[in-house]
Structure 1
């Protein structure tokens, strides 16, 4: 239980410091999301301005963060985003925060490689000097929790592993055994615990947790978890440990810093877009909800006006658009509704055939195909811009980081996570190759037709600046084709 007085806030602001903490875990499924949401809720209830972040490429957890904190959550992915741009993003988004809470991904040291920290929560914590609280699922153990914590703390001397949170604890006496073992064998503070059998659960779906906009129980879950964190974790201890995030300075108010300033058009030269007032249409509704907030920020910083539309509800695209962004989501879940909106499908197809520049990723790509078919065999007509269909399966078809090598020197980095596969797509106009980051396995690249570039990979614009430059120059009429 802690509150921050106005005097303390003034002192913090003048010192240009930041409280920050990362909630990491020994692996997936140990409670990172539950603890992160509970901590964000408890801190916000105490009057603190909480800035949430998520390690890795996930879209869904940031939606939960935003719901709980009323503040946009940003992805910190050291494989998708160059280190300089990642630091810029971290500093820029923390400028007005009183505490930053970063939810980790998978296990603390799991990332893009089994030999290094690349892409892991540990790499982000070391890069940005973030103290780490490690969640251990302590159900059925006591002293063994100390052995796990000691192993994690000694695995990397550069990591600031500041404390432990015990999850799924059976009772107060059980927690005392765990805390005593940690105190005896490590220098780590056990800042508290969450009990087992909490009467709240975030249900899962094939692409992960249900998106925040669809989860009616999220408000109740956040309240229950927030109360549980406030009761069983020491917020004072967490805030004290968070003070160790001392490598932070407020970003200078300069237009020549950050990703927007370093974008290049064509092959060389700065991209001059502010003042051109490009209008970019963005598909955004229940079916298309996977967006990196930083992508929107970058487009606006470059002078673009973003105009949202709904393929589920609208009859036609907004007027006066210079380009389209068809992002991912769950079009397969809303396939029947999307199919029934015939007027919009026909209008979109007509505008694309007339040359409207468009980038479509994953769910957006699926929507532009002829059909989406369910696991049960039901097929629904989509936009029919590309030939072929996507068919839902019971297993992941592609998952992980990819390198995309298109012709004309356009190289991209992306991430894939999808259960659908392409069928009857032999005539798709693929360009280049998509290669898995880990294995190097290659397959046909992205589909390019007229002024449309589409495929399964999701892109973070901070790490694909040449792509952004090419796309917006196409929207502005400065170039005539993607490649």
Structure 2
């Protein structure tokens, strides 16, 4: 049965990357929360770090809306589910409004149309006058199906500058929803993968400072009214199933490993898994009662010294591997399970060592983009030739794997150019690679993984009996 749900919502997009939209959105989220609103934040695309700021600013978990990782038909359901009890949903775009794959696939514009949400365009107007209006008009006319409802002017130089551009916007009938003056002291901390994750720095102070500025220079009440114009979303009504949680998965989560999609982990819970979080940095061992381990992405290269020194944790992971416990790892987790990591200065740090390879950090970004991953041999995620959608984003490379017998996990196909290459590692109980997947969008693989964990647990119980 279908139902209609009213969720006030607005997409904050930009003309291009580095326009300041993450700073603007984070400030808006906090400023709205400070006004007493229950705000649900979203990020278009696969980014892990921006949602960490969104969540801290809004006081609700930030979620990703990615039409490649999660089938487009499921986006509205995910959006409605995670927006429960929210007064307003704020959706931050990715790159420029129309940037994505062929025909705008996975772009902010595609997502805005899918959600039938009004769009506000952030424009960096530094060293610009009436041309800002020409840009806004071009974006408005490029796709009439996108409801581009107004702009936020960012990095204004003076009140005169503001008045000049506001007058130009009046000529093209594009409302202004904010006029933010340049302030170089207000910025988000960065490192090689983009922003530094919110949990690692004085993010709360930074967010509060940004929100104070946004509350003064962005027209929040007008944004709230615009969000209310979004029509009801129609979704299918499901009855929640009461599924017995009969397995436990240990999730590595700390400053070194923080790249997880909440909805992806929730899918494992929906299939009967209890999640138990632990820290490879701080804890002495993995939890005693887990039946499988997941190591997500993050920054093991930044915390390599601390990870290497936690030898009791490393030993406990090795013992779990000896027991053939199912272990799945992505990107940073993949690096941690290798023999070691060469950092940017070529210093070597010994890691867990259950994957016969090493990770080499590089000054330049090695790979970014969406991929299809074909499973090369039956493993804990699926059967040979099964395909999984995912994405890559990493500065490191997998080295010392020239042996012809190396058990590659996948054949990756880049969606950008169809280039194919072998990747990762899969043997017995381990699957690990640079692939970031979303279990909600890879439901069959999530189900298969959980079934493999159940089989492992049952085999242990039979041995004990």
Separation in structure 1 between the aligned mates of residue 447 and residue 343 of structure 2, nearest angstrom? 37
Deviates more, 1:158-167 or 1:294-303: 294-303
- Of the three residues 399, 404, 409, the one matched with 1:431 is 409
State the partner residue of 2:427: 449
Is residue 216 of structure 2 the alignment partner of residue 231 of structure 1? Answer: yes
State the partner residue of 1:187: 173
Structure 1: gaps (5+ residues): 1-14, 257-272
Is residue 299 of structure 2 the alignment partner of residue 313 of structure 1? Answer: no
Q: Deviations over 1:34-60 (max 9, x none)?
A: 110111111111100000000000000
Is residue 328 of structure 2 the alignment partner of residue 359 of structure 1? Answer: yes
Separation in structure 2 between the aligned mates of residue 356 and residue 219 of structure 1, nearest angstrom? 38
Q: Secondary structure at the match of 2:43?
A: strand
Contact 2:77 2:235 (8 Å CA) reproduced? no
State the partner residue of 1:335: 304
State the partner residue of 2:379: none
State the partner residue of 2:159: 172
- With normalisation by structure 2, the TM-score equals 0.93
Contact 1:20 1:99 (8 Å CA) reproduced? yes
Q: How does 1:265-280 map to 2 (within 5 A)?
A: 274-280=243-249
Q: Secondary structure at the match of 2:437?
A: coil
CA drift of 1:227 comes to 1.6
Q: Secondary structure at the match of 1:461?
A: coil
Separation in structure 1 between the aligned mates of residue 140 and residue 149 of structure 2, nearest angstrom? 9
Separation in structure 2 between the aligned mates of residue 241 and residue 310 of structure 1, nearest angstrom? 43
State the partner residue of 1:210: 196
State the partner residue of 2:81: 92
CA drift of 1:276 comes to 4.6
Separation in structure 1 between the aligned mates of residue 20 and residue 41 of structure 2, nearest angstrom? 17
Contact 1:410 1:466 (8 Å CA) reproduced? no
Separation in structure 2 between the aligned mates of residue 20 and residue 424 of structure 1, nearest angstrom? 49
Is residue 362 of structure 2 the alignment partner of residue 414 of structure 1? Answer: no
Higher percent of residues as strand: 2
Contact 2:341 2:349 (8 Å CA) reproduced? yes
State the partner residue of 1:269: none
* Number of equivalent positions: 448
Contact 2:409 2:431 (8 Å CA) reproduced? no
Separation in structure 2 between the aligned mates of residue 423 and residue 296 of structure 1, nearest angstrom? 30
Separation in structure 2 between the aligned mates of residue 230 and residue 131 of structure 1, nearest angstrom? 21
Separation in structure 2 between the aligned mates of residue 353 and residue 458 of structure 1, nearest angstrom? 25
Q: What's the Cα RMSD here?
A: 1.9
State the partner residue of 1:252: 237
Separation in structure 1 between the aligned mates of residue 399 and residue 184 of structure 2, nearest angstrom? 44
Contact 1:405 1:445 (8 Å CA) reproduced? no
CA drift of 1:418 comes to 0.5
State the partner residue of 1:376: 345
Q: Secondary structure at the match of 2:153?
A: strand
Contact 1:95 1:250 (8 Å CA) reproduced? no
State the partner residue of 1:41: 30
Q: Secondary structure at the match of 2:275?
A: strand
Separation in structure 2 between the aligned mates of residue 286 and residue 54 of structure 1, nearest angstrom? 21
State the partner residue of 1:151: 138
- Of the three residues 85, 105, 123, the one matched with 1:118 is 105
Contact 1:91 1:251 (8 Å CA) reproduced? no
Separation in structure 2 between the aligned mates of residue 100 and residue 418 of structure 1, nearest angstrom? 30
Separation in structure 2 between the aligned mates of residue 171 and residue 27 of structure 1, nearest angstrom? 23
Q: Secondary structure at the match of 2:151?
A: strand
Q: Deviations over 1:426-468 (max 9, x none)?
A: 3431134111111111111331111111100101112111211
Q: How does 1:4-15 map to 2 (within 5 A)?
A: none
- With normalisation by structure 1, the TM-score equals 0.89
Separation in structure 1 between the aligned mates of residue 447 and residue 252 of structure 2, nearest angstrom? 20
Contact 2:5 2:232 (8 Å CA) reproduced? no
State the partner residue of 1:81: 70
Contact 2:245 2:269 (8 Å CA) reproduced? no
Is residue 231 of structure 2 the alignment partner of residue 243 of structure 1? Answer: no
- Of the three residues 313, 334, 356, the one matched with 1:344 is 313
Q: How does 1:464-479 map to 2 (within 5 A)?
A: 464-477=442-455
Q: Deviations over 1:368-399 (max 9, x none)?
A: 11010112111011011011210101011111
Contact 1:78 1:124 (8 Å CA) reproduced? yes
Separation in structure 2 between the aligned mates of residue 353 and residue 219 of structure 1, nearest angstrom? 42
Deviates more, 1:423-432 or 1:17-26: 423-432
Q: Secondary structure at the match of 1:349?
A: helix
Shift of the 53–467 alpha-carbon distance from structure 1 to 2, 3 Å rule, reads same
CA drift of 1:203 comes to 2.0
State the partner residue of 1:137: 124
- Of the three residues 33, 45, 48, the one matched with 1:59 is 48
Runs of 4+ that moved beyond 2 A: 247-253, 478-481
Separation in structure 2 between the aligned mates of residue 40 and residue 101 of structure 1, nearest angstrom? 7
CA drift of 1:411 comes to 0.8
Separation in structure 1 between the aligned mates of residue 184 and residue 270 of structure 2, nearest angstrom? 43
